[in-house]
Structure 1
């Protein structure tokens, strides 16, 4: 008998990435397509939905809240929206697995409902901080009970009525912004969120696509309660966070030539491209028409010598999920790369600063960590063993390091890759990564 929790990757060196592929649909947009389609009026048809564990957790939760959803069938969904006030009480706790996005956005969406709902998840999610969401929602009148540590399980009780808020976020977070905006749909008057830095604007774009007015000017985003969402088609582009692994792999491995189709190029998400280009990567972009309010395009990447840089702090929110694989690029670059202002990486699926530093050190890379970042000196990558600590992005990042290592890299703790990238091993092997997955017996 085997257990997925003991899945390991093994990568042998010498491969390169060549081909023309499309990575799975964007996870952030998939979450929002289900949530907003559910509270819209009418039938929403979604194409390109990511059938990964995180997005499927959102879909299952919406079904538990009384929304009829047909699919997914090869990325296609049909959502029979119930309107802003049509959700119903679930029969039990909503299990959101490993998805922090689901839990934080559901806090905002459920804060204005007339029934009680409990949000739970796996061991990792139950340790993640939720006060950054529950505190501003409480200021709006939401009643959300958490543990003394501010973590899940979260019990969301019916509120007497939500009131508007003018909320200046202490730190940039698209999830916090989105939770407050979703709660604002149920508040009387105008809710305003002020960002200290640019964050993902998928929620604002999709609200607009559903016909709900959103104002956005100079770092301030506003919605007024009492409106309605009108159902319509949503095309989910390929996820730039998933494409990032292949961008880095093709940039560092000699002989590579890789094309990535239909990639989402939202301006709040292209930090990974800008950082890699500043390091010297050769990435060509062919823009295409928009999909569901999101710009998309085709990327072509070939190998190029990389050099270390000091990453601008205002780029950090634009690449927050891509730093694990960007650290692999930095390990292959000539000179020193410095990252600051990225303390958010310590409260992801793992402490990504600590876990990446641990793994890179095991592979012979010089790394110094700080509370809000790290400094890396590029050089040869050795073979060896690393642990992803159940973090999907770390597992895939170290897999790409295997392209240029001087020996095999074995990566344990890889089961959660399916949360964001089902079929990663098969697609990576298809374009030339010498990777295999092994299920270890319990």
Structure 2
């Protein structure tokens, strides 16, 4: 249990942790590379440990930051913990392992949909069973198909899985109704780091990517994480001034969009090569569709709770993340005395002065961190009953938070 009393001042500097999304991609591409790779400064969290376990199960050796890929992937039991990225990429990559692989996870992950990836595997001649975890894949070792189509309106993670598969075998990947497009761009950017060549074209609601085979061993330095840094950038916009280092100015991460949103909110945003700095100023209401950056939704709801007016925050897949994030934030904002109305795909939020509250995290790391940021300016003491969920993506979050509380 964590008790938070609003501090007198919020100001300081933190270093953004390594990106979870890039860490996943770097490890899976290292698994399929032609020789050893170095994944430099990876994020170590529950989710990325699940990916490390997965690539080892497929036959890779990992010694500190060096990944030695196997000559051939071996079928195995993959336990993805609560990591949707680990599970979905593993489902696709296991098609290269000759034999039966089973991909499973914890109860929370077992509730998330897997049928789109399973259906697309069948299109390339790989038998797979399961609409949710556990999923059984009957790998063929070699795949002769030349193209695949994946519906990505619920998640871009299977699209990433097929792009990584394509990097190994060569494949035309058609992504239908892609949601979270920046995550696909992040996958392509990481593939480039591993020497993968591709061409892409946009055709109406389809993104078509022609990927040449060949993953080269490389030294891949994991960039800083805009998703985790967003917690501190939002805190700066609301309460004081915070500087975050280790963020790439030209990154394609989806959650880099937080910078544009904070400018719209009225905050002072300074972007330099060495750091990003955000200072509080105005608190304008927001109207945002976060379908391309759903992980920002809890923090955008926090911004809206303090805004001067009514905000609308929407997103297509918000109810099928680690929790039903729309309902989760509606519950917590209501407990903080903020008027809120649940929509099918988002929230209407009437901003004001949140009061101290007893939060409910729904065992969702993003909700937990957002509640901590919400509590920093609430009128009175707030209680967050569980904080273990942050281990999924940002184990040192509360230690870093203490650096900016005066």
Match of 2:139 among 132, 149, 158: 158
Q: d(CA) in 2 for partners of 1:97 and 1:24?
A: 21
The question of whether the paired residues in 2 share the 8 Å contact of 1:162 and 1:188 is answered with no
The question of whether the paired residues in 2 share the 8 Å contact of 1:173 and 1:199 is answered with no
- 1:117 counterpart residue number: 101
Q: d(CA) in 2 for partners of 1:162 and 1:411?
A: 52
1:46 Cα offset (Å): 1.7
- 1:54 counterpart residue number: 47
Map residues 14-413 of structure 1 onto 2, 5 A cutoff: 14-71=7-64, 77-82=65-70, 86-90=72-76, 93-146=77-130, 150-159=131-140, 161=143, 163-165=145-147, 167=149, 169=151, 171=153, 173-185=155-167, 189-196=171-178, 198-200=181-183, 201-218=185-202, 220-224=207-211, 227-253=213-239, 256-264=240-248, 265-266=251-252, 268-287=254-273, 298-311=275-288, 313=289, 316-340=290-314, 342-413=315-386
Q: What CA RMSD, in Å, does the superposition of the two structures yield over aligned residues? A: 2.0
- 1:437 counterpart residue number: none
Number of matched residues?
398
The question of whether the paired residues in 2 share the 8 Å contact of 1:16 and 1:403 is answered with no
Q: d(CA) in 2 for partners of 1:68 and 1:274?
A: 41
1:194 Cα offset (Å): 4.6
1:165 Cα offset (Å): 3.3
SS of corresponding position for 2:332 = helix
- Structure with greater proportional helix content: 2
- 2:395 counterpart residue number: 422
Given the superposition, is the C-alpha separation of residues 37 and 376 from structure 1 closer, same or farther in structure 2, using an over 3 Å criterion?
Answer: same
1:262 Cα offset (Å): 1.5
Could you give the per-residue CA deviations for residues 362-412 of structure 1, whole angstroms, max 9, x where no partner exists?
110111011111110100101020110100010000001111101111112
1:162 Cα offset (Å): 5.0
The question of whether the paired residues in 1 share the 8 Å contact of 2:168 and 2:215 is answered with no
Higher RCO (CA 8 Å, separation ≥ 6 residues): 1
1:195 Cα offset (Å): 4.6
**Bigger shift: residues 161-170 or 18-27:** 161-170
The question of whether the paired residues in 2 share the 8 Å contact of 1:332 and 1:378 is answered with yes
Given the superposition, is the C-alpha separation of residues 55 and 190 from structure 1 closer, same or farther in structure 2, using an over 3 Å criterion?
Answer: same
**Bigger shift: residues 318-327 or 22-31:** 318-327
Scaled by the length of structure 1, the TM-score of the pair is: 0.85
The question of whether the paired residues in 2 share the 8 Å contact of 1:31 and 1:102 is answered with yes
SS of corresponding position for 2:69 = strand
Given the superposition, is the C-alpha separation of residues 189 and 182 from structure 1 closer, same or farther in structure 2, using an over 3 Å criterion?
Answer: closer
Q: d(CA) in 2 for partners of 1:126 and 1:185?
A: 28
Given the superposition, is the C-alpha separation of residues 394 and 188 from structure 1 closer, same or farther in structure 2, using an over 3 Å criterion?
Answer: closer
Q: d(CA) in 1 for partners of 2:401 and 2:311?
A: 27
